[in-house]
Amino acid sequence: MSKIAADFGIQDALKALGIKEINEGTSTGSNHFSSGEIISSFSPVDGSLIAKVKTTSKEDYEKVMSTATTAFKDWRTKPAPQRGEIVRQFGDKLRELKEPLGKLVSYEMGKSYQEGLGEVQEMIDICDFAVGLSRQLHGLTMHSERPGHRMYEQYHSLGVVGIISAFNFPVAVWAWNTALAWICGDVCVWKPSEKTPLCGVACQNIAAEVFKANNLPEGISCLINGDYKIGELMTHDNRIPLVSATGSIRMGKIVAQAVAARLGKSLLELGGNNAIIVTPDADLKMTVIGAVFGAVGTAGQRCTSTRRLIIHESMYDKVKDAVVDAYQQLRIGNPLDENNHVGPLIDTDAVAHYKNALEKVVKEGGKLIVEGGVLEGEGYESGCYVKPAIAEAENDFEIVQHETFAPVLYLLKYSGDVENAIAIQNGVVQGLSSAIMTNNLREAERFLSAWGSDCGIANVNIGTSGAEIGGAFGGEKETGGGRESGSDAWKVYMRRQTNTINFTTELPLAQGIKFDL
């Protein structure tokens, strides 16, 4: 074990989460282990091997699906409030294990320890939300045009929900889907990112303990591990009516086509190219806080990270100077050390994409005003630490049009009124998160109107990054159109049914049609 892992209690965290052996296997909740190949989980914090995880073979996948489909037949018969009680217990277990799980998230993924704890808190919050929801899975009643008839609609459990999650939120996104799916009477098969497999094993261990204590089938929560090939088994599987996938736009298009080909449903949370508009009426201090955290939080590896700062020409130099000054104060290093602001990228492939973006923006005519670069030397041995960079650019640059999962912020200038800024913001294929900094009511309302931001999330006087679980989370255009978490996002995990009851002795036909026999 490395010195950092020893100093920050990683071994104790793994033990608390039930990860005791170096060769933890794929588990459906009990003692079934995969016969697949082994993948190694290396920490981007110090480059050390944390543990090895067995991937899921095709034979193992069939066992998992058999276990899940069998469990569904039992789970869907439980009244929703009883399912809510199980989710409540799961949330309480997360409260007990918040510190070790948050520590594992930080060490395996590379985000700051505070963010790791925050991610586990999101899991707890969605459990609380889901418990309340368990008594509110309501439909509608409506009047029939036929006398003596009653019409209503209700929602039923959907079945097996397949979940494919990304490395940047290795536990929260799974919980967003799972807590709601469980409440709805569904069972879940989860493929976490192959870059953060231990977080998946830890969550599965926690869930399995809760289900076992309540004498419930293990297949309510299932885990599979591996690369895109194991994900393909889910996307092509008719036994999985809904696939929820979080990741890149490229990945999402592949998933969407595969699921649509069998007329299944997909819930897609894909890339973001998020912008903050800064108008002449913006509060400078709030702008800097929102822009800097949005751009460098999680080392720029959030789907809601701020990529573009669209600044009015009258404020441009003032905002630029303030943001550049704030960047000079950033501390980059071990994310488990709470004195640091920015941790590492997930791996050296991500570093290569970061370097390519900086080279490309200069080649296209941009100017780096905060130089980037890869950090070396003591504390940076993993090769995954980079300097957050800022470049002056144009919105039509090819590199600006794409999402770079790294701390690279592009400054864009606009003139005229806020409509011009909104046009720039909307001028990308992604449509996840957006924000405007202004104290002008008309500008704010214009931004939030039907002809304003085209994103799924639009904020006023807060940044693009971060979202409360009470609201539906997701985006438009090539972000995929999916919605997770709060509001009525639960409906995607259920099937809608319209019912008509005739309580007369006659059988009148709709639209007055006569059919005498």
- Residue 30: is its pLDDT beyond 50? no
What average pLDDT does the structure give for the chain? 95
pLDDT in tens, 170-226: 999 999 999 999 999 999 999 999 999 999 999 999 999 999 999 999 999 999 999
Report the predicted TM-score, pTM, of the whole model to 2 decimal places.
0.95
Does pLDDT of 29 surpass 60?
no
The domain ranges of the chain are 3-39+52-138+157-241, 274-477
CB 79 within 8 A of CB 130: no
Which tokens hold the place of 174?
Answer: 């799974």
Average pLDDT of the residues in 364-385: 97
Is the pLDDT assigned to residue 258 strictly greater than 90? yes
Q: From the centroid of its chain, how far is CA 300?
A: 14
* Other Cβ atoms within 10 Å of 415 Cβ, number: 10
Task: Please write down the long-range contacts of 337-343, taking CB distance under 8 Å and 24 or more positions apart.
Answer: 337/113, 338/112, 338/113, 338/114, 340/112, 341/112, 341/296, 342/112, 342/296, 342/299, 342/388, 342/407, 343/44, 343/45, 343/106, 343/110, 343/111, 343/112, 343/298, 343/299, 343/385
Exactly one of 24, 115, 269, 443 is catalytic; name it. 269
Among candidates 160, 170, 183, which has minimal Cα distance to 91?
Answer: 183
Give 499-515 pLDDT, tens digit per residue: 999 999 998 877 777 87
Collapsed DSSP state (helix, strand, coil) of residue 506: coil
203 in catalytic set: no
Q: Which two tokens stand for residue 383?
A: 């090769």
378 is catalytic: no
Is the pLDDT confidence value at 36 over 90?
no
Instruction: Look at residue 511 in the predicted model and tell me its pLDDT.
Output: 74
Distance in angstroms between the alpha carbons of the first and the last residue of the chain = 83
For 274-477, which CATH superfamily applies?
Answer: Aldehyde Dehydrogenase; Chain A, domain 2 (3.40.309.10)
C-alpha pair distances (Å), 223 with each of 33, 107, 240, 305, 343: 11, 21, 14, 28, 28
pLDDT of residue 34: 67
Kindly report the three-state secondary structure assignment for every residue of 55-123.
CCCHHHHHHHHHHHHHHHHHHCCCCHHHHHHHHHHHHHHHHHCHHHHHHHHHHHHCCCHHHHHHHHHHH
Q: How does strand 472-473 pair with strand 408-414?
A: unpaired
Residue 32 has pLDDT above 60, yes or no: no
The answer to whether 430 touches 272, Cβ cutoff 8 Å, is: yes
| pLDDT band, very low/low/confident/very high, at 20 (cuts 50, 70, 90) | confident
Query: For the domain with range 3-39+52-138+157-241, which CATH number is right: 3.40.710.10, 3.90.870.10, 3.40.605.10, 3.30.420.40?
Result: 3.40.605.10
State how beta strands 472-473 and 484-485 pair: antiparallel
pLDDT tens-digit map of 387-443: 999 999 999 999 999 999 999 999 999 999 999 999 999 999 999 999 999 999 999
- Active-site residue among 303, 384, 403, 484? 303
